[in-house]
């Protein structure tokens, strides 16, 4: 067994994954939900010393929002660390993979159930929360899993998530049971409005053939960077959505110009049509002149008839419904609404859309099936690893922040530090998805 010389962690929430350990074991008696103290044995440590096993039992804890149950866990009162045996996990038909300093544990039915980054001294640690009742060995409760993925997808409707899992439309989404309990947050955050027409008589057949656009705002409170408006752009063909944030309506034209340059380079084609309402930001002489000069055909909704710009209006409605859910669930500060909008848009681009058969918008746009196994609940407590270069010997190795989603540029998590009120980017993060 590998000996880890760190401070006492047996009653803490940290468990170390140990490839040299023959059994799960802990020195914390409070972890057990069922303990047979009549069981006696001994274990030999990496330094050849021996310790007495004073019992064997069952432990139930929560890791990243999922309930896990371990059986045949040794109680060794003098042990200072909580240890998870890699060998014992493999005996339970779990698959353990290590790639790019990340260790992932997969359940043969439920998919990814644990994930951890390599920390200092080549150690892998898992942050777990004690749970008081017992279940079968290392079993993920189906209702908990369904509810967790419902929240990871920003409170997307359960039926869509189930269809995506069944058809394999994204990578990393486990199969889910059909009847998931009613979500109170959804009931509070998603109010009903008059329905828009669900199907248009005409659909684009290629990228950028028609862009739907809508400006939403002013939104209060103003964001930390002074933004008040949300500019929604949707490509009619893949139904992929882009979101931009503006401080004032007058910035709309310049934003469209920048969007046109970047998106046409990415798609290797040009914007042919643009559908908007008749707001002044879209009907000014400068805006009309820009569209004429670039051969962009205009489609304008009739006055007081937003339904004619239905695609953008529906996407706008869906985004704001989900944003209300995200902010309410974790009681997030309302000025972080742009971060909730970014994450919602990111999720929707990787979610089922009725107008596209068996593909999500991101795959329709890029041709690549996206992964979702790294999704975590927005607003969760996140402990990110502080690099050695940024701390001295006795400083904490992790810092507590709030998850705001992911950074597409760096393929890492976006974190909000409530003390410094700054955004941090990190890949080395441990999550408490159930913590408030």
> In the structure, what pLDDT confidence band is assigned to residue 359 with cuts at 50, 70 and 90?
very high
Checking if the pLDDT of 136 tops 50, the result is no
Cα separation of 76 and 315, whole Å? Answer: 56
| Beta strand pairing call for 273-276 and 297-300 | parallel
Give pLDDT, residue 415. Answer: 92
Provide CB contacts within 8 A for 320, sequence distance 6+: 216
At 174 the three-state DSSP class reads: coil
Checking if the pLDDT of 12 tops 70, the result is no
pLDDT tens string 186-217: 766 665 544 545 555 678 999 999 999 999 99
Give pLDDT, residue 305. Answer: 59
Question: How much is the average pLDDT of 44-66?
Answer: 80
Checking if the pLDDT of 336 tops 90, the result is yes
pLDDT tens string 268-321: 999 999 999 999 999 999 999 999 999 999 999 876 555 666 888 889 999 999
Checking if the pLDDT of 367 tops 50, the result is yes
CATH architecture classification, 14-140? Beta Barrel (2.40)
Give pLDDT, residue 61. Answer: 82
Domain ranges of the chain: 14-140, 146-182, 185-366, 381-432
The average confidence (pLDDT) of the chain is: 82
Cα separation of 416 and 21, whole Å? Answer: 37
Which of 96-105, 132-141, 271-280, 427-436 is the most confident on average?
A: 271-280
Closest CA to 319 of 379, 242, 394: 242
Checking if the pLDDT of 393 tops 60, the result is no
| Cross-strand partners of 211 | 235, 274
Give pLDDT, residue 81. Answer: 82
Helix (H) or strand (E) holding 304, with range, is none
Checking if the pLDDT of 340 tops 80, the result is yes
Cα separation of 83 and 24, whole Å? Answer: 6
Query: Taking the CB of residue 277, how many other CB atoms lie within 10 A of it?
Result: 21
Which of 16-30, 95-109, 127-141, 275-289 is the most confident on average?
A: 275-289
Residue 427, CB-side half-sphere exposure with 13 Å CA sphere: 11
Give pLDDT, residue 1. Answer: 34
| Beta strand pairing call for 66-75 and 56-63 | antiparallel
Q: What is the CATH number of domain 185-366?
A: 3.30.420.10
pLDDT tens string 402-412: 999 999 877 89
């Amino acid at each position: 067994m590998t000996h880890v010389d760190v401070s006492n962690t047996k009653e803490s929430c940290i468990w170390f994954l140990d490839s040299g350990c023959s059994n799960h074991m802990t020195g914390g008696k409070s972890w057990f939900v069922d303990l047979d103290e009549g069981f006696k044995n001994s274990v030999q440590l990496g330094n050849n010393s021996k310790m007495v096993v004073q019992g064997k039992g069952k432990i139930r804890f929560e890791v990243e929002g999922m309930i896990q149950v371990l059986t045949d866990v040794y109680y060794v009162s003098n042990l200072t660390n909580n240890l998870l045996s890699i060998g014992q996990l493999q005996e339970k038909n779990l698959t353990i993979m290590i790639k790019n300093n990340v260790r992932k544990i997969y359940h043969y039915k439920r998919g990814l159930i644990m994930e951890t980054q390599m920390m200092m001294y080549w150690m892998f640690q898992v942050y777990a929360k004690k749970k008081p009742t017992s279940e079968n060995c290392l079993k993920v409760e189906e209702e908990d899993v369904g509810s967790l993925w419902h929240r990871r997808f920003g409170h997307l409707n359960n039926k869509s998530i189930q269809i995506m899992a069944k058809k394999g439309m994204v990578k990393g989404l486990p199969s889910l049971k059909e009847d998931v309990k009613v979500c109170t947050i959804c009931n509070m955050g998603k109010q009903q409005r008059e329905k828009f027409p669900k199907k248009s008589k005409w659909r684009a057949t290629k990228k950028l053939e028609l862009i739907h656009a809508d400006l939403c705002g002013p939104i209060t409170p103003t964001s930390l960077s002074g933004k008040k408006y949300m500019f929604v752009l949707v490509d009619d063909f893949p139904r992929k959505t882009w979101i931009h944030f503006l401080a004032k309506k007058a910035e709309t034209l310049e934003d469209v110009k920048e969007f046109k340059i970047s998106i046409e380079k990415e798609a290797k084609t040009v914007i042919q049509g643009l559908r908007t309402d008749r707001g002044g930001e879209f009907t000014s002489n400068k805006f009309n002149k820009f569209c004429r000069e670039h051969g962009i055909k205009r489609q304008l909704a009739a006055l007081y008839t937003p339904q004619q710009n239905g695609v953008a209006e529906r996407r706008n409605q869906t985004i704001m419904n989900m944003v209300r859910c995200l902010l309410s669930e974790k009681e997030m500060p309302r000025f972080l609404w742009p971060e909730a909008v970014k994450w919602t848009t990111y999720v929707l681009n990787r979610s089922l859309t009725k107008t596209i058969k068996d593909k999500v918008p991101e795959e329709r746009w890029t041709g690549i099936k996206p992964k979702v196994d790294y999704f975590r609940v927005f607003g969760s407590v996140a402990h990110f690893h502080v690099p050695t270069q940024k701390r001295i010997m006795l400083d904490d190795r992790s810092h507590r922040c709030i998850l705001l989603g992911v950074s597409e540029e760096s393929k890492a998590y976006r974190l909000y530090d409530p003390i410094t009120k700054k955004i941090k980017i990190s890949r080395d993060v441990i999550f408490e998805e159930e913590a408030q």
